[in-house]
Amino acid sequence: MKPKKNPEKDLNKKSSLFFVFGLLLVLGLALIALEWKSYEPKSIYDVSMNSSPNEIEEEPVEIFKVEQPKIKQVLPPEIKIEEDDVEIIETEILSTEVDTDTEILEVDDIIIDDIDEPVEVNWITIEEVPIFPGCENAKDKRACFNEMMQKHIQKNFRYPELAQEMGIQGKVNTMFEIKVDGSIGTIQKRGPHKILEEEATRILNKLPMMTPGQQRGTPVKVSFSIPINFVLH
């Protein structure tokens, strides 16, 4: 029986050769893949880094000069040398201790300076009270003084508008001096608010000149106190 295929065209005879060629082709592709190298494209940074030093503009550098502090030279004080024959005046310190040579002064030899200090007497202990104008012929000058003071306060009294708006009221205790010349001296006041204290001071500053009080026939300062009431109706 004859074979159906041509023996010359049988591919199985060359299969080993084709296998070798295929193996070589695969090894060659693998080698090329392992040895393949890739490069990144050039960037602007490469250009700038590769530029020559002459192409780079350098900014001027400011130079600061530090001045050395001036040290003031202090010269030592001049020492004056005195010659031995120069006379030096020394301070003599006198002793305050008493000894047998100390001179004893008599009482008549001591001079006492008379200092006239104004004597201040209060309203209760004064012998002759100050006389308010219009009370010269009054029998009870104390009562007349108090009555005239009340009339003076009522005549010059004025309730501050700001105190009325704020609803401020109360009693202001005042004390003033009638000096040796009959004028009004220091005024002291104490009340619920400064506005009322200022109004009380204004009223007392309008007091007239008075006849000063006397103690043992000598004019003296007399202190007098009186309350001033501020009441809202």
The confidence score (pLDDT) of residue 49 equals 47
Strand 170-178 to strand 184-190: parallel, antiparallel, or no bridges (unpaired)? antiparallel
pLDDT greater at residue 21 or residue 223: 223
Strand 184-190 to strand 221-230: parallel, antiparallel, or no bridges (unpaired)? unpaired
Parse the chain into domains and list their residue ranges.
120-230
Give the confidence band of 31 by pLDDT, cuts at 50, 70, 90.
Answer: confident
Mean pLDDT, the chain, whole residue set? 76
Fold of 120-230: TolA/TonB C-terminal domain (3.30.2420)
| DSSP-assigned letter for residue 84 | T
The confidence score (pLDDT) of residue 87 equals 60
Percent of the chain with pLDDT over 90: 33
The confidence score (pLDDT) of residue 95 equals 57
Strand 214-215 to strand 218-219: parallel, antiparallel, or no bridges (unpaired)? antiparallel
Q: Is residue 175 pLDDT above 70, yes or no?
A: yes
Q: What is the pLDDT of residues 35-77, one digit of tens each?
A: 777 666 554 444 444 445 455 455 554 544 545 556 666 666 6
The secondary element (H helix, E strand) that includes residue 163 is helix 161-166
Taking residues 154-159, what's their average pLDDT?
92
Q: What is the pLDDT of residues 85-136, one digit of tens each?
A: 556 555 555 556 666 666 665 656 556 555 455 566 777 888 889 999 999 8
Token readout for 18 is 């084709």
The confidence score (pLDDT) of residue 208 equals 93
pLDDT greater at residue 50 or residue 24: 24
User: 164 with 208: CB under 8 angstroms?
Assistant: no
User: 184 with 176: CB under 8 angstroms?
Assistant: yes
Q: If we measure between CA atoms, which residue out of 208, 200, 143 comes closest to residue 178? A: 208
Q: Is residue 7 pLDDT above 90, yes or no?
A: no
Token readout for 42 is 């050039």
